[in-house]
Structure 1
Amino acid sequence: MSLLNTPGDRRSFLTRSATVAAVPALSAVAGGVLTATPAAAAATSTATKTATADDPTLPDYAPVPQSALGPALNAQGYYVGRIQRNLYWVTDSTYQAAFLTTKDGVVLFDAPPTIGGNLQRAIDEIASANGVSNKVTHIVYSHHHADHLGASSLFGKNVTRIAHAETRAQLKRDNDPTRPLPDETFEHHRTLRVGGERIELAFLGTNHTPDNIYIHFPDHDTLMLVDINLPGWVPFQNFNLNEDVLGSIAAPDKALAYPWKHFIGGHIGRLGDRQDMLVYKQYIADIIDGVKAALATIDPTPFFVKYGDNAWAAVKEYQAAQCRYAAAPVVKKYTGVLAAADVYTESHAFVLLEAVRLSLGIGSQVHP
């Protein structure tokens, strides 16, 4: 069945008609397989034909809890909703952005390419309903990654783009025309005032990237912090590819220090709240407890005896055993609580194991 006319529940990831909106994101994750050249497509056609929903070679995973799913998407493949007053959010059930309508125009926060042209459609929808301007005058970049900014160029040159100074440095290096350089930057804090509205931007140290910022809407009871906590879900593989693992572990406490009720995490299909942040924080703490226990419990001797001179094989299997040991109770605890706990927890355990071992020195043994 074509992805373009799949029926059913729009909120389920690969069985709703709006799945086509998620294809670019899936392609990026899969290394571009979904947008391969004809020659590459022909080379993989056999695998594509055999990878069906009832393929016995594909693993089964726990059902996604209903609490993890967001609202239904419209026929164009997006949902736009009010957060509070004149602050709105947009999602395609894979990525999220936000925008603030003001008397002087619209301030957009991130521009994910998977949402793309639907960003302006969502803004037009709200502007038409409320009799306000639909002109985007400012775009705030959360951080430099293309999956959150790749539709920025759609809004042209007559837009003021604002970001952390490091974001500008990263984008200058990347030289990607879909992500124009910011016009204004800041180092630590910036109060942005547009059309009588106030937004607080802050860089509180590295976490997911060296430029990821906290975006606080004090008059709308909302915090936006992208790629840290994905409400209702565990992080993407390998602890969400966080560049600063310890900084990312510390990020929830920094987020909770702000006053807010609503949370925009940048991914998946729903908003979060403070309870989501607490659950996420505890999930990570439980994995860390597990890897500490694994470091103290799993004996490396059998692995090195079996593989002899092949040190990497011994290390690989030893660490895999540690990750399984650490992840197993966490998967059991969070299945039905956080979506995909059984999918990615072992990969998070590996990253956190290495952070505990290398950055905190836990488990290191000094030769006598």
Structure 2
Amino acid sequence: MTDEDPRGIARRKLLQYTAVGAAMPALLGGPLARAALAATDDGLPDYLPVPAGAHGPNVNELGYYVGRIKGNLYWITDSNFQCMFLTTRTGVVLVDAPPSIGGNLQRAIDEVTRANGRPNRVTHLVYSHFHADHIGGAGLFPKAERIAHTETRRLLKALRDPRRPLPTVTFDDQYILEVGGERLELRYHGPNHSPDNIFIWAPNQETLMVVDVVFPGWTPFLDLAVAEDVPAWVRAHDTVLKYPWKTLVGGHKGRLGVRADAELQRGYVHDLETSARAALAGVDFTPFYMRYAAVDGNMWATMNEYLKATARVTLDSVVAKYAGKLAAVDVFAPSHAMAMVMSLRLDLGVDSPGGGTIHP
């Protein structure tokens, strides 16, 4: 993917090459998971039903929903992506511009500003981070002042994507944006999902926007939200909960978040880590080595089967505990388990039995 930093591409390829994708049905153990992945007549698997609470409001005939969060702060969703905007006395501050919503961003803004009698022109556009799925529609607002972290500008400059114009204003640690009587506080707490992902805090509206960390009502996306720094992404859950917010804009899916959503996902991630540590301590490497590497030197086969077994043990308790609580836990939990196992081994240096540290 050309819209990502090479470090992220390399990390994800490492995870992919362990064959977790091809082995997803085998990774899920237990009757609940086996039933969820039973083949349908078209050859595609079935998955557990999505809990009703995971869904948000219905979109309109144009494919979007716009609603008030509090005061002059609003949010837009197409049921898969979401962003937010502030109406002010002098113009609109938009935070992110997902290309999947596209022209409906301005339509939603027009709908709101007509009702509250404020200007509809987007004067400021904040980038949460550099990924195209969240700011690939930024080119629709060429006259806006674009604000982002310094690292975002560096990454975008290398990519040269006209859909994502370079930021015009950058910051390292904190930036206070005050426009037309409204205020947003932008803060960088270090890398997590990406090297540049920031926290956008609307203090007057008690609303926090942080993208690709918490997915209200859902489990995270593939490979722990394709986090480039898994330990930092895990820690970001604690940072999220340190803010005194009442409403969370997570960037994905069709509803806003409440504090119980962040607490539930943090519990899921911590349970996953605890289970992965236990699996690394308990799964014996020896039979895999003797079956493959000792016979014909096929260390890749050894590692593939060992890692799949470790991920499978990791999942034994986690999927059953969160089924019915978090949507799609049976869809992406296998990749979460593999990502956690690999991060514990590579990032945190957790050793495995049967030969000491195992190198990929």
TM-score range relative to shorter protein = 0.7 to 0.9
Distance 1:196 1:116 in 2: 27
User: In 2 relative to 1, CA 168–367 (structure 1 residues): closer, same or farther, beyond 3 Å?
Assistant: closer
Structure 2 gaps of 5+ residues are: 1-38
Find the partner of 2:61 among 58, 72, 75. Answer: 75
Tell me whether 1:214 sits opposite 2:214 in the alignment: no
Find the partner of 1:59 among 25, 35, 45. Answer: 45
Equivalent position amino acid for 1:216 in 2: W
Find the partner of 1:84 among 41, 45, 70. Answer: 70
Distance 2:42 2:125 in 1: 46
* Higher RCO (CA < 8 A, seq sep 6+): 2
Tell me whether 1:167 sits opposite 2:145 in the alignment: no
Equivalent position amino acid for 1:338 in 2: L
Partner SS state of residue 271, structure 1: coil
Residue in structure 2 matched with residue 138 of structure 1 by the alignment? 124
Residue 57 of structure 1: how far off its partner (Å): 1.2
Residue in structure 2 matched with residue 357 of structure 1 by the alignment? 345
Cα displacement string for residues 31-83 of structure 1 (whole angstroms, at most 9, x for unaligned residues) = xxxxxxxxxxxxxxxxxxxxxx9634111110000010010000000000011
Cα displacement string for residues 186-238 of structure 1 (whole angstroms, at most 9, x for unaligned residues) = 00001110001111000011101110000000000100000111111111111
Find the partner of 2:256 among 264, 271, 274. Answer: 271
Find the partner of 1:335 among 296, 301, 323. Answer: 323
Equivalent position amino acid for 2:271 in 1: D
Partner SS state of residue 219, structure 1: helix
Distance 1:325 1:99 in 2: 44
Distance 2:334 2:157 in 1: 35
What do you get for the CA RMSD once the two structures are aligned? 1.4
Residue 361 of structure 1: how far off its partner (Å): 2.0
Partner SS state of residue 232, structure 1: coil
Distance 1:108 1:367 in 2: 51
Tell me whether 1:203 sits opposite 2:153 in the alignment: no
Tell me whether 1:192 sits opposite 2:180 in the alignment: no
Find the partner of 2:164 among 179, 199, 202. Answer: 179
* 8 A contact 2:76–2:84 mirrored in 1: yes
Distance 2:356 2:192 in 1: 34
Distance 1:367 1:123 in 2: 58
Deviating 4+ runs (over 3 angstroms) = 53-56, 364-368
Cα displacement string for residues 68-111 of structure 1 (whole angstroms, at most 9, x for unaligned residues) = 00100000000000111110000001100100000010000000
Equivalent position amino acid for 2:156 in 1: L
Residue in structure 1 matched with residue 34 of structure 2 by the alignment? none
Cα displacement string for residues 145-202 of structure 1 (whole angstroms, at most 9, x for unaligned residues) = 011011111112x210000011000110010000000110000001110001111000
Deviates more, 1:319-328 or 1:107-116: 319-328
Distance 2:322 2:356 in 1: 39
* 8 A contact 2:319–2:329 mirrored in 1: yes
Distance 1:362 1:171 in 2: 35
Residue in structure 2 matched with residue 118 of structure 1 by the alignment? 104
* 8 A contact 2:280–2:352 mirrored in 1: no
User: In 2 relative to 1, CA 293–104 (structure 1 residues): closer, same or farther, beyond 3 Å?
Assistant: same
* 8 A contact 2:40–2:46 mirrored in 1: no
Cα displacement string for residues 282-333 of structure 1 (whole angstroms, at most 9, x for unaligned residues) = 1000110111111111112221222232111111011101101101211101
Distance 1:56 1:313 in 2: 31
Equivalent position amino acid for 2:216 in 1: P
Distance 1:328 1:236 in 2: 20
Give the number of aligned pairs.
315
List aligned pairs for 1:237-252, cutoff 5 A.
237-252=222-237
Structure 1 gaps of 5+ residues are: 1-52
Partner SS state of residue 173, structure 1: helix
Residue in structure 2 matched with residue 29 of structure 1 by the alignment? none
Distance 2:324 2:271 in 1: 16
Equivalent position amino acid for 2:347 in 1: S
Give aligned-pair identity as a percent: 53
Residue in structure 2 matched with residue 93 of structure 1 by the alignment? 79
Cα displacement string for residues 239-267 of structure 1 (whole angstroms, at most 9, x for unaligned residues) = 11101111101001111111110000000
List aligned pairs for 1:274-293, cutoff 5 A.
274-293=259-278
Residue 359 of structure 1: how far off its partner (Å): 2.1
Q: Scaled by the length of structure 1, what TM-score is found?
A: 0.83
* 8 A contact 2:281–2:352 mirrored in 1: no
Residue in structure 2 matched with residue 318 of structure 1 by the alignment? 306
Partner SS state of residue 152, structure 2: helix
Distance 2:309 2:83 in 1: 39
Equivalent position amino acid for 2:116 in 1: N
